[in-house]
Structure 1
Amino acid sequence: MPKSPTKGRAQRAPLSPEKTFLNLLATDQQSTFRRVHLLGLLQSVSIMLQALGFSLLLAHLVLHQSLDLFGSGLAITGFVLRYLCQWGRELLSAKASREIRFPLRQRLVSKLAHLGPQRHRLDEDAGLSTRIYEQVDALDDYFARYLPQTVMVVLIPAVLLIATALVSWIAFFIFLFTAPLVIFFMILVGHKAAQANRKQFAVLALLSNQFLDLSRGLSELKRLGAVDQGRERLEFSADAYRKSTMSVLRLAFLSTATLELFASVAIAMVALYLGLGLVEQLPWAQGNTPVPLQPAFFLLLMAPEFYLPLRQLGNDYHAKQKAEAAASQLLAIDSAQLSSATKQALAVSSQTDNARVYFNAVTWTQDGRVRLEQVTQKIAAGQRVWLRGPSGAGKSSLMALLLGFEQPTQGQIYIDGEILDAQQLPNWRKRLAWLPQQAEWIQGTIRANLLLGLPSVDETAINRALVLSGCDEFIRRLPLGLDSQLTELGAGVSGGQLQRIAIARALLSDADVWLLDEPCASLDPETAEALLNTLDEVTQGKTLLIISHDTHPVVWADAYWIMKGGELYVETPDKCAFF
């Protein structure tokens, strides 16, 4: 009976997802790491040559009171070669780390961009930005220091053990049996450091989210007189982050002190053995010198070098734990599933004739819950549709499907008679003007925000968009006009003015399909009515879907839909709640 290939030998435990993730990142720089390892081997030999040269020089000075030129040359050669190799290793390791982290950050940012609003399933924007910047940078020490050191911790001791065995078997066994103790305590303390690092990253993400929330809602907190409560909450999180940071530092110092203690004891044992041997006082070798002066100098010089890689690995071991803690957070973003477009083309129904957008029995399920169920409806070219419904009814889910951030679980979405799939999505998005509840702004001028992502636009088109959107009057009153500064939170103008700037940006994009999500949210009735009148003027002839849960009378809409429990119904004007 044939034996199983794995029977009779221990099976390797599977790697954790974090370790697998880090290993996959390192594969792209394998050639660079191989050069680092080759320099590490050369450095190991140079350490031995340096110790041999200095031992010859010192022994000759003690015994003959003269300078040994051969030993001096060997020591200088080994010293220079050692530090050239070290410089080359650090340069290549830093390059490998940079080449790994920069593409990773770009990949994660791209993933979040493709996730769109669905990124909030992972974390708030402040927490995600902390992951993208802080935690990607937390991988630097792992790739630049820890990974190369894992090879050096084998190469240098192995080369020095071989050289030691040729001189003294007792010193060889002292090295051999004390080295595992250093590694054992390094791992023991390292597990505690890993837990502390994970806690630190979690607290940092929470602190970032709270700081962003406080910045966005500061004006509301002032009106409510709740600034003190917000500050106390932020202070509590900041104090928790301080404590978690100090916990990580405490464990790092404890790890270093432990390794230094065991390395010092082991070096002292070798020095004691060699010293007693030189004065012929060893109990088992009375009157004999087992190791002469020059080899004794050689072993004594190599003892610190033997434990140095282990001590350095111990110092860098917390970098490994920190990287694994960061990897667990980054892996959540990197492994987030983007919706795959359906590849099977269904026959285009006759219902798609003259339809700009057609939902064909669209069903969408998220986390086991049906968000949309058998939605079948069309939006004709140039038709303006108002979709209302309570929160959680499925309006935002329908919008996410139209934007391409999600794909139907069942059914199809047709755009001008063609299935909306991965190939059609880029062209479809170029035709869209998307106005969310809170538009995204960059730190810069109003002009820069208007032209963000657009090709060159002349002043005539800009002025026309400002007039149509009703922005020209209040922008003219600003001291710097279009060159007035706008923050990421839109500070400097009111909420209604921000919505008008967003409309102007949509006009400049020359999009023929407009998707609006709660454009009147958080606006007072007068401002909301004025904004809806503006939308009526600027969307003439455009295909428009506007979703809302309020009762603002959008009397100019061509069709009225209502969403209830994921199902879509068509209303007639005489049955609408606001008529």
Structure 2
Amino acid sequence: MLSKKVSANKSKDLLKNLQAQQRQPFVAALFAGGVITVTVVIQAALLATIISQLILTHHFPIHLVYWLMVTMLIRAAAGFVKDQFSAKASINIRASLRKRLINHLAQLGPARNIIDQDGGLSTTIYEQVDALDDYFSRYQLQAMMCVFIPLAILICAMVVSWFAFAVFMVTAPLVIYFMILVGEKAANANRKQFSVLAVLSNQFVDLTRGLFQLRLLSRERQAEQRLKDSAEAYQNTTMKVLGLAFLSTATLELFASISIAVVALILGLGLIKQVPGFHGEIFLNLHDSLFMLLLAPEFYLPLRQLGADYHAKQKALAAAEQILEILDVQLVQPTKEKSLFEAQTNQPITFENLRWTIDGRNLLSNVNLTIQPNERIWLSGESGAGKSSLLNILLGFHLDYQGKLLIGEHELKHLTLDSWRKTLAWIPQMPEWVSGTLAQNLILGLGPVNDTDVANALIQAEAADFIKALPLGLDTSISELGSGLSGGQLQRLSIARAILTDAPIWLLDEPASHLDSETGQALYKTLEKVTRNKTTLLISHDTHPVDWCDKALVMRHGEIVQQGGIDES
């Protein structure tokens, strides 16, 4: 129970901090809300005066009609300004938050998997960030309007009719109470909906990535049924959220309608002096009765609108909890800033008694290794041996290790990570792509690159021929999964991308693991050419290294248990 309360408080703090980033638009929208409050009272007073004079004196005050029209125009304009500024604030908040989340995940690197799979994380970045829209664009300002307008009307009621004041004071807390009661249930339903959506997203991504293997194993039907079950679960949770939202709105409409009816009935009976049990103290003249009757719907209107938007607050709190799961994962920062050696200068990489422990598990234990400049090393071992952990530390994603990791004479923890990563070229098992053209994917993050360099990189990666065979060449579009190209072609594109970085250190994480034997051998021949004069660490499950590596290492249980030349392996 305590953890749930702490989580709710942290979510509220996050929303407050996000709102503080857009102070000026919210202040402008709040000022427009104050103008609306004033026009509500003036509009009711003018309309009551016009109608009462028309009935009692048979005189139509045309000048008051003009003032009424001006007031209505001002109210409409103020409403438009309020909505525009709040919408602008919401757009800016979500854009900056989405950028913050993407940068955070990028710095986490492979460590992001401790939060969720990529499908669930993408759902958080897009769906749940967008779930904050109604909170910032509508709910926050509407909450303030529920203070401004009812307070102004209560002041008028105190002066004009104590009975209307009493009805407002009794019914308003009931409306708020039922709004909160139903809203809490909606919050729980929203949390469940987000969780189910994350599961559905992860399953969809896994199915897309593993479709080829599923077909080989004839397991498409089982995967399809699993995805269908998750989709139905998401549909059910969505309908529950909608049901609670409709229930909240219906409850508030009921209380508001009954309260307005009571005020109208009593004021109407008061005009003909037929209120049972009361005498002159409750009777109002026509103008004051009309004034109160016109203000009664305005009193409940902000509360009703807030009730309709209250589920937006609960939805935002539930979304904020998911967002905080990402932001709460601490980034390991270098202990101090120093200038890194020049990228063109090759330096030895030295591991001295390197150890790394997470949650009591020893992922790396007493790793001692020196990689000389331009040396190419084959590192093999079974799954879980610690190969990827060693690679992730080299990439700078985990700096909470013990022991030493020296780049030349500098400890990695003391270096500027951006400068260090500029010296690295990384080719993973499954290269990652963005939706766009092949050209855009090749130069992504590299800054200005001329066409000659791109053409030379494609030739060295032996990708130029199949690129030329494509109808649109480098302007061919691919999806995030690289649709339309084979695994070998995608890996050759990733090699070309690595060549364009001009990095002196190459880190290769099982580049041929998803390729057939023939394609894999051809890929290794290409790598032999492009990694000459490069410091290279090649990770593989295969215990038989390629003959062009200088040294073969075997890793087991987080330790390097065997070192030697290729001939010795």
Under a length normalisation based on structure 1, what TM-score does the superposition of the two structures give? Answer: 0.91
In the alignment, which residue of structure 2 is the partner of 1:496?
488
Q: Distance in 1 between matches of 2:226 and 2:504?
A: 46
- Cα offset, 1:463, TM superposition: 4.1
Q: Distance in 2 between matches of 1:469 and 1:301?
A: 77
Residue range with higher mean Cα deviation, 328-337 or 214-223: 214-223
In the alignment, which residue of structure 1 is the partner of 2:24?
31
| Residue 302 (structure 1) aligned with residue 298 (structure 2) | no
Equivalent AA in structure 1 for residue 430 of structure 2 = Q
Per-residue Cα deviation, 1:293-346 (whole angstroms, up to 9, x for no partner): 11000000000001111101101100001111111111111222111223499x
Equivalent AA in structure 1 for residue 130 of structure 2 = D
Q: Distance in 1 between matches of 2:526 and 2:271?
A: 98
Q: Distance in 2 between matches of 1:340 and 1:62?
A: 77
In the alignment, which residue of structure 2 is the partner of 1:270?
263
Native 8 Å contact 1:278 1:289 kept in 2: no
- Cα offset, 1:443, TM superposition: 3.1
Native 8 Å contact 2:185 2:244 kept in 1: yes
SS of residue paired to 1:162: helix
| Residue 223 (structure 1) aligned with residue 216 (structure 2) | yes
1:178-327 alignment runs, 5 A limit: 178-286=171-279, 290-327=283-320
Q: Distance in 2 between matches of 1:469 and 1:574?
A: 25
Equivalent AA in structure 2 for residue 309 of structure 1 = P
Change in CA separation of 1:326 and 1:569 when aligned onto 2, cut-off 3 Å: same
- Residue of 545, 560, 565 corresponding to 1:568: 560
Native 8 Å contact 2:550 2:565 kept in 1: no
- Residue of 369, 377, 380 corresponding to 1:385: 377
Native 8 Å contact 1:281 1:287 kept in 2: no
Change in CA separation of 1:50 and 1:434 when aligned onto 2, cut-off 3 Å: same
Residue range with higher mean Cα deviation, 298-307 or 456-465: 456-465
In the alignment, which residue of structure 2 is the partner of 1:362?
354
In the alignment, which residue of structure 2 is the partner of 1:527?
519
| Residue 116 (structure 1) aligned with residue 109 (structure 2) | yes
- Cα offset, 1:503, TM superposition: 1.6
Residue range with higher mean Cα deviation, 450-459 or 75-84: 450-459
1:440-459 alignment runs, 5 A limit: 440-459=432-451
Under a length normalisation based on structure 2, what TM-score does the superposition of the two structures give? Answer: 0.93
Native 8 Å contact 1:518 1:549 kept in 2: yes
Change in CA separation of 1:363 and 1:276 when aligned onto 2, cut-off 3 Å: same
In the alignment, which residue of structure 1 is the partner of 2:162?
169
- Residue of 103, 123, 126 corresponding to 2:96: 103
| Residue 435 (structure 1) aligned with residue 395 (structure 2) | no
- Cα offset, 1:287, TM superposition: 7.5
SS of residue paired to 1:490: coil
| Residue 375 (structure 1) aligned with residue 367 (structure 2) | yes
Alignment RMSD, CA only? 2.5
Change in CA separation of 1:354 and 1:275 when aligned onto 2, cut-off 3 Å: closer
Q: Distance in 2 between matches of 1:329 and 1:414?
A: 37
Q: Distance in 2 between matches of 1:460 and 1:47?
A: 68
Q: Distance in 2 between matches of 1:75 and 1:483?
A: 61
In the alignment, which residue of structure 1 is the partner of 2:12?
19
Residue range with higher mean Cα deviation, 517-526 or 538-547: 517-526
Native 8 Å contact 2:373 2:534 kept in 1: yes
Per-residue Cα deviation, 1:210-234 (whole angstroms, up to 9, x for no partner): 2222222222223332222222222
Native 8 Å contact 1:49 1:74 kept in 2: no
- Cα offset, 1:479, TM superposition: 4.5
Equivalent AA in structure 1 for residue 112 of structure 2 = R
Per-residue Cα deviation, 1:393-412 (whole angstroms, up to 9, x for no partner): 21111111111111033233
- Cα offset, 1:112, TM superposition: 1.1
Q: Distance in 1 between matches of 2:182 and 2:452?
A: 67
Equivalent AA in structure 2 for residue 378 of structure 1 = T
- Cα offset, 1:450, TM superposition: 2.8
| Residue 511 (structure 1) aligned with residue 495 (structure 2) | no
- Cα offset, 1:465, TM superposition: 3.0
- Cα offset, 1:68, TM superposition: 2.4
Q: Distance in 2 between matches of 1:14 and 1:402?
A: 34
- Residue of 387, 391, 400 corresponding to 1:399: 391
In the alignment, which residue of structure 2 is the partner of 1:471?
463
Q: How many residues align?
A: 560
Q: Distance in 1 between matches of 2:346 and 2:105?
A: 35
Q: Distance in 2 between matches of 1:464 and 1:71?
A: 80
Residue range with higher mean Cα deviation, 218-227 or 291-300: 218-227
- Cα offset, 1:357, TM superposition: 1.1
Change in CA separation of 1:13 and 1:433 when aligned onto 2, cut-off 3 Å: closer
SS of residue paired to 1:537: helix
Native 8 Å contact 2:552 2:566 kept in 1: no
Equivalent AA in structure 1 for residue 354 of structure 2 = V
- Cα offset, 1:459, TM superposition: 4.8
| Residue 153 (structure 1) aligned with residue 151 (structure 2) | no
In the alignment, which residue of structure 1 is the partner of 2:536?
544
In the alignment, which residue of structure 1 is the partner of 2:342?
none
Change in CA separation of 1:277 and 1:483 when aligned onto 2, cut-off 3 Å: closer
Native 8 Å contact 1:280 1:288 kept in 2: no
In the alignment, which residue of structure 1 is the partner of 2:81?
88
Equivalent AA in structure 1 for residue 45 of structure 2 = L
Structure 2 gap ranges (5+): 339-344
Equivalent AA in structure 2 for residue 416 of structure 1 = G
Equivalent AA in structure 2 for residue 23 of structure 1 = K
SS of residue paired to 1:285: coil
Q: Distance in 2 between matches of 1:215 and 1:31?
A: 44
Residue range with higher mean Cα deviation, 418-427 or 272-281: 418-427
Q: Distance in 2 between matches of 1:124 and 1:426?
A: 25
Native 8 Å contact 2:545 2:552 kept in 1: no
Q: Give the share of equivalent positions with the same residue, in percent.
A: 50
Equivalent AA in structure 1 for residue 490 of structure 2 = L
Change in CA separation of 1:150 and 1:288 when aligned onto 2, cut-off 3 Å: closer
Residue range with higher mean Cα deviation, 236-245 or 546-555: 546-555
Change in CA separation of 1:180 and 1:225 when aligned onto 2, cut-off 3 Å: same
Q: Distance in 1 between matches of 2:52 and 2:447?
A: 77
Per-residue Cα deviation, 1:17-42 (whole angstroms, up to 9, x for no partner): 11111111111123332332232222
Q: Distance in 2 between matches of 1:497 and 1:37?
A: 57
Residue range with higher mean Cα deviation, 473-482 or 188-197: 473-482
